[in-house]
Structure 1
């Protein structure tokens, strides 16, 4: 159900002018191109880009200051707490214009993105419009992660990971938003460090506004570059989803329970295997207990078949077979921890330490 009331001000887009808001932390390899993709957008009216800059250790701070000094449309808003929702709120509070376009420093807006989003925002009387995340990569590992992101078996379910039908949505990737609606519903919840966009859109919809998916909108997203960072990211994201389930219960989609189900099944299979190896489980009991292997076998076979079918070099296919279960198990483990004890301030540490820039 999507019961809505029209957005205020006769359901029209605010006066010309767009504020782009971009949280930034340790993004020296990606920031310049992310900013360039924003400044290349064609918009009828003035624009500004606010970089919500968290304390960085890889040269990002200096790069952001140089970018701001070179273009008067760019301003740096310092975010000493480093949390994404805090940075977003700081930038939105400083915004000069009534339309807010959220941008990830690890992403690039496709040409025409803003113009199309503004047209859709006005046409459907929405408060927030989002499109498709198109993950991409520069190395075999990152391309494998991107392929997993773009696959329904990878992140599955959300329209912005591959949905093709325009219409009302549960949430919006990044989002092109009405600033007045954001202020009305209280902006981003600063106690939520991951999944803050889902929770914001929950409040937007609860207030009676439309959240809308338009597949003509596309954003290129660059995933984590190393396995350890990917696992840390998904562990933190899963933990916060567990926290959101604690807070909001059935308003969370059932698809969120698939990865923790895999973790539980894997754990049970390991326990049964040990008990059988030790001779504790024998005879009929062992046969009955062996049923626990079936879902895990199906999952493993599915990953192998899909990985083998990928039309890509061998290294990328091999990484894909590693990446899929890594994403699912890390997210599922985090989710179970979040359900049992809450997020407790869990932070995504996958960007806190950077090595040398990518070639």
Structure 2
């Protein structure tokens, strides 16, 4: 079993992620292949020290620093029949690998994934994590909290049969975000099964600051827009909600300017206000309801929710519209650049 992990500026998270991989108890040989990007926070040196302490850890280079390039380099360097994608910002639950292997065999699937359970330490990160775990935050994909096992559109991270990867090709290196969705599309088009198992759980640590979160979501939205350009309606309808919100907000600004200038009639203004301001008012109520709902944490976490939820939706929507109109081009997730060297407790 080969665990593959692209790594860039993850000094604060890498050791925890590696420990969760090496602690997996399975009855087959294992290895962990780290694809190292050009980190600036000491991540490369940490990875080298970890590799010196355990012969199961192997290192390959990823000078381009792009996730699919790193994944492909790690997969090509791997030796075993099962590929387990791991994120340096995540930690596998105990028994994850053994359960995934059993599910692969039981369901005759090509790729198996489970639940991405976000966690946080600061009030800001806890607010983001709560929204990650909520269908209101990220649109209700199965891996954000569904309890229903079955065939799926995609899989979070994924435990994959190497034979199927060789058959359909590895990750598309022209796609910087959403590369897992596109790979799973090819797997399904080739007649193989992608499976969701809610008993598989991965802890995910969201971005630690508002600016990094906004950058991450804008980049992710841009690449989803690119995927819509390439694959059209194969993308689910839920992906179109954030850009719709952006368009309504833009219309509200235009309508407000026209009303202030007095260039539209009272009747037109009244009807337009209902059609434009109405949905925005409902969205504001939704955000406030989420912030005040039970389980929202302390006062600081609830206040952050009032900012974080629209930031996630608007940043993603703005990126999506840009990706649809002009393509994602060279958009990168700038939130992964220049992180601080601050270890976690």
Give yes or no for TM over 0.5: yes
Normalised TM-score (structure 2): 0.98
The structure with more helix, counted as a fraction of residues: 2
| Alignment pair present for 1:309 and 2:293 | yes
Q: Distance in 2 between matches of 1:358 and 1:268?
A: 44
Q: Are the aligned partners of 1:152 and 1:161 in contact in 2 as well (CA < 8 Å)?
A: yes
| Alignment pair present for 1:23 and 2:1 | no
After superposition, what is the alpha-carbon deviation per residue over 1:140-163, rounded to whole angstroms, capped at 9, x for unaligned?
100100001000000022100011
| Alignment pair present for 1:141 and 2:95 | no
Q: Are the aligned partners of 1:137 and 1:223 in contact in 2 as well (CA < 8 Å)?
A: yes
After superposition, what is the alpha-carbon deviation per residue over 1:199-236, rounded to whole angstroms, capped at 9, x for unaligned?
00000000000000000000000000000000000000
| Alignment pair present for 1:248 and 2:231 | yes
| Alignment pair present for 1:293 and 2:277 | yes
| Alignment pair present for 1:320 and 2:305 | yes
Q: Distance in 1 between matches of 2:294 and 2:125?
A: 15
Aligned to 2:84, what secondary structure does the other structure show?
strand
Alignment of 1:160-179 (within 5 A): 160-179=143-162
Q: Are the aligned partners of 1:21 and 1:102 in contact in 2 as well (CA < 8 Å)?
A: yes
Q: Are the aligned partners of 1:259 and 1:331 in contact in 2 as well (CA < 8 Å)?
A: yes
Q: Are the aligned partners of 2:112 and 2:159 in contact in 1 as well (CA < 8 Å)?
A: yes
Number of aligned pairs?
Answer: 342
Q: Are the aligned partners of 2:139 and 2:239 in contact in 1 as well (CA < 8 Å)?
A: no
After superposition, what is the alpha-carbon deviation per residue over 1:74-124, rounded to whole angstroms, capped at 9, x for unaligned?
011111111100111011111110000000000000000000000000000
Alignment of 1:263-278 (within 5 A): 263-278=246-261
Shift of 1:257: 0.2
> In structure 1, what is the equivalent of residue 266 of structure 2?
283
Alignment of 1:8-157 (within 5 A): 18-157=1-140
| Alignment pair present for 1:225 and 2:174 | no
Q: Distance in 2 between matches of 1:120 and 1:300?
A: 42
Q: Are the aligned partners of 1:310 and 1:317 in contact in 2 as well (CA < 8 Å)?
A: no
After superposition, what is the alpha-carbon deviation per residue over 1:126-179, rounded to whole angstroms, capped at 9, x for unaligned?
000000000001111001000010000000221000111000000000000001
> In structure 2, what is the equivalent of residue 11 of structure 1?
none
Aligned to 1:350, what secondary structure does the other structure show?
helix
Q: Distance in 1 between matches of 2:301 and 2:263?
A: 42
| Alignment pair present for 1:194 and 2:150 | no
Shift of 1:277: 1.5
Shift of 1:358: 5.4
Deviates more, 1:277-286 or 1:288-297: 277-286
| Alignment pair present for 1:354 and 2:339 | yes
